[in-house]
Amino acid sequence: MALNAVLRSLDLLDAATVTGQDVADALRSAGVPNVEVKRFTGKKGSTDFIRVVVPGTRGRRAGGDAPTLGIVGRLGGIGARPEKIGLVSDGDGAVTAVACGLKLGRMAGKGDRLPGDVLISTHICPDSPVIQHPVVTMMNSPVDMATLNAEEVLPEMEAVLTVDTTRGNRVVNHRGIAISPTVMQGWILRVSEDLLTIQQQVTGRMPVVLPSPCRTSRPTETTSST
* Residues 176, 178: Cα–Cα separation, whole Å: 7
Q: What is the pTM of this model?
A: 0.84
Residue 219 has pLDDT above 50, yes or no: no
**Which is more confidently placed, 223 or 45?**
45
Q: Residues with Cβ < 8 Å from 190, sequence gap 6 or more? A: 181, 182
Where do runs of H (alpha helix) occur along 2-155? 3-13, 20-29, 92-109, 145-152
pLDDT at 209 over 70: yes
Distance of alpha carbon 137 from its chain centroid, rounded? 21
Q: Which of 74-83, 111-120, 130-139 has the lowest mean pLDDT?
A: 130-139
pLDDT above 90 for 88: yes
193's enclosing H/E stretch is helix 193-203
Residue 223 has pLDDT above 80, yes or no: no
Give the mean pLDDT of 217-222.
40
Q: Is the pLDDT of residue 216 over 50?
A: no
d(CA 11, CA 33): 21
Evaluate whether the domain defined by 3-170 bears CATH number 3.40.630.
yes
Which pLDDT tens digit goes with each residue over 8-44?
Answer: 999 999 999 999 999 999 999 999 999 999 999 988 8
Listed by start position, the domains of the chain span 3-170
- At 217 the pLDDT is 42
